[in-house]
Amino acid sequence: MIESMTRRTFIKGTAAAAVLAGPLRGLAAVEKPQTINLAFIGCAHIHTSQFISILQTRADVKVKYAWDHSAARAQKYAKDLNAKVVTNLDEIWGDPAIAGVVITSETNCHLELVLAAVKAQKHLFVEKPLGTNVADAAAMADAIEKAGLLFNTGYDNRSMPHHWFIKEQIAKGTFGKISRAYASRCHNAALEGWFDGDFRWMADPKIAGFGALGDLGTHPLDLLMWLLGDVEAVTADVKSVTGRYGDCDETGEALVRFKNGAIGTVAASYVALKDPVTLMISGTEAHAMMYDNHLFFVCPKIGGADGRKMWTKLPRPLSHPLLLWADAVAGTRDIPLVKPREAAERVRVMEAIYRAAREKKWITV
């Protein structure tokens, strides 16, 4: 019997990289004798509890403050953090002990909060997507980059050793000419009502910016762009299935034409019981597929790569993106963080995907 995915099991699965051992090879570490003081700015996102649990694995991290425009919500998470609730953000912006902020607010609040954090010279972890539209995302990326601040966002696919292996093989030319690719992130949020209560805003495109394809689909979109490069054109279809959240799209797929000639499919859904095949890369000389978080790899030029059993010759995994950012704030060098410009570009492509879905045509990005 196919089991439905609960919110708890989904969050546990997406958090798995947080407890994986050690960084990818080649990172230059420094000693961390001092406590890293952080603040939570906005506690609205469904991953807020997960991020709190992740940070609690770090003895050198202290969350000093929690703020949210909802005092009750701030109080709820401040208790878990053993942090002080603040009602005036100036208390956080003006505290020189605060090295960085974790922004898990509603997406349509990101612009104001990010620009204020930049002005206060605080490093930023901003939950994805960066913004609800391309203009806001570009403004945030510009501000962060000009200020020279450390930034990361929750693209946890980049922490998986299987994906690093595929990226390395693509760079070596092992795949030959890549013709097609597929990436997905799906769960059953709409079937189980994950967004019925406190997280209702996440299924409101006016607040979240997008529906399922934009919220979940930004993960596989980032993965394919990270692996294959810039996008040339897109087309897509999105729809509601249950109608539980009004006109919010609950499932969708986009065709993405990359500048290197490959055609990719990005899939996302709030109405999927299972999502076993999360990545496929097909080239003229190699093929890779992720099935139930296991890699199957075919390449006639590499011994043992016949696809009959799981491929296990992998690099070391990375930690969760939040922990990578904390490492960077603490002074660890050469951490592979998501660049603000990359995060903004994902919003730009996703905005084009939704336009293509509305207009039923290919859109040049």
- CATH code of the domain containing 227: 3.30.360.10
Indicate whether 100 and 136 sit together in one domain: yes
Residues 232 and 258 placed together within one structural domain of the fold? yes
Q: How many domains does the chain have?
A: 2
Query: Residue 52: pLDDT band by 50, 70, 90 thresholds?
Result: very high
Q: Do the domain assignments include residue 330?
A: no
pTM over 0.95: no
* Residue 326 lies inside a defined structural domain of this protein: no
Residue 263 has pLDDT above 60, yes or no: yes
* One domain, residues 94 and 187: no
Nearest to 126 by CA among 325, 360, 361: 325
Residues 122 and 208 in one domain: no
Q: What is the pLDDT of residue 2?
A: 43
Single residue among 120, 152, 184 that ends a domain in this structure: 152
**CATH number for the domain harbouring residue 130:** 3.40.50.720
Same structural domain, 100 and 197: no
pLDDT for residue 50 is more than 50: yes
**Position 146 pLDDT exceeds 90:** yes
Looking at the domain assignment, is residue 120 inside a domain? yes
Q: 164 and 141 in one domain?
A: no
141-157 burial, b at 16+ Cβ within 10 Å, e below that, comes to bebbeebebbbbbbbbb
Residues 208, 345, single domain; the answer is yes
Q: Is residue 329 part of a domain?
A: no
Position 327 in a domain: no
pLDDT of residue 27: 44
Residue 24 has pLDDT above 90, yes or no: no
In the chain, % of residues over pLDDT 90: 91
pLDDT of residue 25: 37
**CA 294 from chain center: how many Å?**
20
Q: Taking Cα atoms as reference points, which of 188, 187, 254 lies closest to residue 224?
A: 254
Signed CA dihedral, 241, 242, 247, 251: sign only: negative
pLDDT at 224: 98
Six-digit token pair at 168?
């390395």
Q: Mean per-residue pLDDT for 243-248?
A: 96
Q: What is the pLDDT of residue 32?
A: 47
More confident of the two residues 45 and 20:
45
Where among 152, 173, 195 does a domain terminate?
152
Q: Based on the domain organization, do 145 and 214 belong to the same domain?
A: no
Do residues 236 and 353 both lie within one domain? yes
User: pLDDT, tens digit, for every residue of 324-350?
Assistant: 999 999 999 999 999 999 999 999 999
Final residue of a structural domain among 152, 184, 211: 152
Q: Is residue 7 predicted with pLDDT exceeding 80?
A: no
Per the prediction, the chain carries an average pLDDT of 93
Distance CA 311, CA 307 (A): 8
Enter the DSSP assignment of 321.
H
Task: Classify residue 236: in a domain, yes or no.
Answer: yes
- Boundaries of domain holding 203: 160-316+338-364
pLDDT of 12 > 60? The answer is no
Q: Is residue 323 part of a domain?
A: no
pLDDT at 153 over 60: yes
Name the helix (H) or strand (E) containing 236: strand 231-239
Asked whether 125 and 153 are in contact (CB, 8 A), the reply is yes
Same domain membership, residue 185 and residue 106: no
In-domain check, residue 174: yes
Q: What pLDDT, on a 0 to 100 scale, did the predictor assign at position 34?
A: 84
Q: Look at residues 282, 281, 295, 249 and name the one whose alpha carbon lies nearest to residue 268.
A: 249
| C-beta separation of 43 from 68 below 8 A | yes
What percent of the chain is predicted at pLDDT more than 70? Answer: 91
164 touches 315 (CB < 8 A): yes
Q: Indicate whether 12 and 77 sit together in one domain.
A: yes
Q: What is the pLDDT of residue 5?
A: 60
315: preceding bond cis by omega (within 30 degrees): no
Q: How far apart are CA 133 and CA 199, in angstroms?
A: 20
Residue 177: pLDDT over 60 = yes
Q: Are 76 and 56 in contact (CB under 8 A)?
A: no
Answer whether residue 98 shows pLDDT above 90.
yes
What is the spatial distance between Cα 215 and Cα 238, in angstroms, rounded to a whole number?
A: 13
165 and 306 inside one domain: yes
